[in-house]
């Protein structure tokens, strides 16, 4: 199970948002995240809010699309009641868990709920995550016909012993087939990799990157393995049955993937993400890094609207109960101070290739930039042009810091 939620104020059962969220809303985009909290098996490294069939206890997977659609309708009504300007969803992202454990028709119904209650902006980016063993050509065609534009496959590795350590069950040889089926359906394709798994060598990692590139994806994500408290992997490391990930080796792996992707024509636009061109960058992820507005649908999902952040009850049964009663599924909420919002803006923008405009920083932050240049964490030439851009080493450190400090 995922760890406890942050300590904050209770979220109101009517979901009402303070009037302060209206300030500047016309300059912010709105995105929707739909969490599907189901997995066939629980991977030992994962601390996401997900549940296998034996852990549902009072919730039904078959009812979930209707429950999520109810929260989408609740979100639309709440945003309108708050007096926010009409904004259609610029991006929609189905994550998990494994969204594609649900029938494709269920994902289509959930997307229709967004279309009906929130609206979809022209050219909206609509993505689902998928395990390579949970889809076939017909499934992907159904998604494309429903309006999905993009699929992100959780490949993680091409090396069997690395997949075994991660407790991933798919056959790596299936990845090229599902990528081809997605292309035939007209979907953009992203491939996700994880590096730094205990026992993974630099040669293993190189083979995985090469295998991913051989599928000719439009986009590739590479995330360092972080050992989260409460996971089976953390317990294995404490007991000594599995070795601790080597951070120096992870840094070497990051440099290797950056070199290989650059040579293959990819450009990095965010610490862990590369694309063949700006048109293939994940606009949904960029909305997070740029502190835009998003509403998270589903058990444990997090939302952020105009400096107000909240999170839903975690268990699917508790979530189903709230939705059946017409109540907000929110469990806790916090209103961010101006200082906190500025700190998060800097931390998140530091992850992106565009960096941070130096004139937007307070004077003490500008002094700190000078210190970072001295430490070779910030590109000095870019700083002279008026932007903070991280060096390669700085990008590695930013990834480690921000992924531990943000939800």
pLDDT tens profile 236-260? 888 988 888 888 899 999 999 999 9
Distance CA 279, CA 149 (A): 12
Q: Following CA atoms 72, 77, 81, 85 in sequence, which dihedral angle do they give, to the nearest 10 degrees?
A: 60
pLDDT of residue 401: 53
User: What does the pLDDT average to over 13-25?
Assistant: 97
Question: Would you list the DSSP string of 161-183?
Answer: HHHHHHT--S-GGGHHHHHHHHH
Average pLDDT for residues 66-88, to the nearest whole number? 98
Residue 373's pLDDT is what? 63
**pLDDT at residue number 53:** 86
Whether the pLDDT of residue 357 is over 90: the answer is no
Question: Residue 138 class from Cβ within 10 Å (0-12 exposed, 13-18 middle, 19+ buried)?
Answer: exposed
Distant-in-sequence, close-in-space partners of 138: CB < 8 Å, separation ≥ 6: none
C-beta contacts of 259-263 below 8 A and 24+ residues apart: 260/206, 260/209, 260/210, 260/213, 261/209, 261/213, 261/220
What the block records as the tokens of 211 is: 């295998």
Distance separating alpha carbons of residues 191 and 223, to the nearest angstrom: 11
- The model's confidence at residue 406, banded by pLDDT at 50, 70 and 90, is very low
Is pLDDT larger for residue 222 or for residue 41? 222
What pLDDT is attached to residue 365? 75
Token pair in block for residue 61: 């997977």
Stated pTM of the model: 0.90
Distance between CA atoms of 119 and 96, rounded to whole angstroms?
Answer: 23
Counting every residue written for the chain, the total comes to 407
Tokens representing 179 are 């990528």
| Alpha carbons within 13 A on the beta-carbon side of 401 | 14
Percent of the chain with pLDDT over 90: 69
Q: Does pLDDT of 115 surpass 80? A: yes
Average pLDDT over residues 23-28: 97
Decide if 102 contacts 64 (C-beta within 8 A).
yes
Q: Which of 344, 336, 291 is nearest to 31 (CA)?
A: 291
Token pair, residue 233, equals: 């992997």
Are β-strands 293-297 and 120-130 bridged in parallel, bridged antiparallel, or unpaired? unpaired
First-to-last alpha carbon distance for the chain, in angstroms, is 16
Instruction: Report pLDDT for 232.
Output: 84
Structure-block tokens of residue 32: 């929707």
Q: Backbone dihedral region of 297: left (phi > 0), alpha (psi from -120 to 50 degrees) or beta?
A: beta
Asked which of 42-46, 160-164, 273-277 is least confident by mean pLDDT, the reply is: 42-46
From 60-69, 114-123, 240-249, 294-303, the region with the lowest mean pLDDT: 240-249
In this prediction, residue 4 has a pLDDT band, given cuts at 50, 70 and 90, of low
How large a percentage of the chain has pLDDT more than 70? 93
């Amino acid at each position: 199970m995922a760890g406890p939620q942050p300590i904050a104020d209770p979220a109101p059962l009517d979901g009402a948002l303070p009037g302060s969220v209206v300030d500047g809303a016309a300059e912010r985009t709105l995105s929707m995240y739909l969490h599907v909290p189901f997995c066939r098996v629980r991977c030992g490294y994962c601390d996401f809010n997900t549940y296998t069939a034996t852990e549902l206890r009072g919730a039904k997977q078959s009812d979930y699309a209707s429950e999520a659609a109810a929260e989408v309708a609740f979100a639309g009504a709440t945003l309108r009641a708050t007096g926010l300007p009409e904004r259609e969803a610029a991006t929609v992202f189905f994550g998990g868990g494994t969204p594609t454990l649900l029938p494709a028709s269920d994902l289509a119904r959930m997307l229709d709920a967004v279309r009906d209650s929130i609206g979809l902006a022209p050219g909206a980016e609509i993505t689902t995550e998928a395990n390579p063993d949970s889809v076939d050509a017909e499934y992907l065609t159904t998604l494309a016909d429903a309006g999905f534009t993009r699929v992100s496959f959780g490949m993680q590795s091409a090396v069997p012993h690395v997949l075994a350590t991660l407790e991933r069950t798919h056959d790596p040889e299936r990845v090229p087939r599902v990528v081809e089926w997605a292309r035939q359906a007209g979907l953009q394709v992203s491939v996700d990799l994880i590096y730094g798994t205990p026992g993974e060598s630099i040669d293993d990692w190189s083979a995985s990157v090469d295998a991913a590139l051989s599928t000719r994806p439009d986009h590739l994500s590479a995330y360092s393995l972080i050992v989260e408290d409460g996971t089976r992997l953390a317990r294995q490391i404490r007991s000594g049955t599995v070795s601790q990930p080597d951070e120096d080796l992870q840094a070497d792996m990051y440099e290797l993937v950056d070199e290989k992707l650059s040579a293959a024509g990819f450009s990095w636009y965010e610490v862990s993400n590369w694309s063949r061109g700006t048109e293939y960058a994940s606009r949904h992820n960029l909305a997070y890094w740029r502190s835009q507005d998003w509403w998270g649908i589903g058990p444990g999902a997090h939302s952020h609207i105009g400096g107000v952040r909240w999170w839903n009850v975690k268990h699917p049964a508790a979530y189903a109960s709230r939705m059946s009663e017409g109540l907000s599924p929110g469990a806790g909420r916090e209103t961010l101070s101006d200082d906190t919002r500025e700190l998060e803006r800097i931390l998140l923008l530091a992850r992106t290739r565009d960096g941070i405009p130096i004139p937007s920083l307070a004077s003490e932050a500008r002094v700190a930039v000078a210190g970072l240049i001295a430490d070779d964490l910030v590109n000095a030439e870019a700083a002279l042009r008026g932007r903070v851009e991280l060096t390669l080493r700085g990008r590695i450190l930013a990834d480690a810091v921000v992924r531990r400090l943000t939800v």
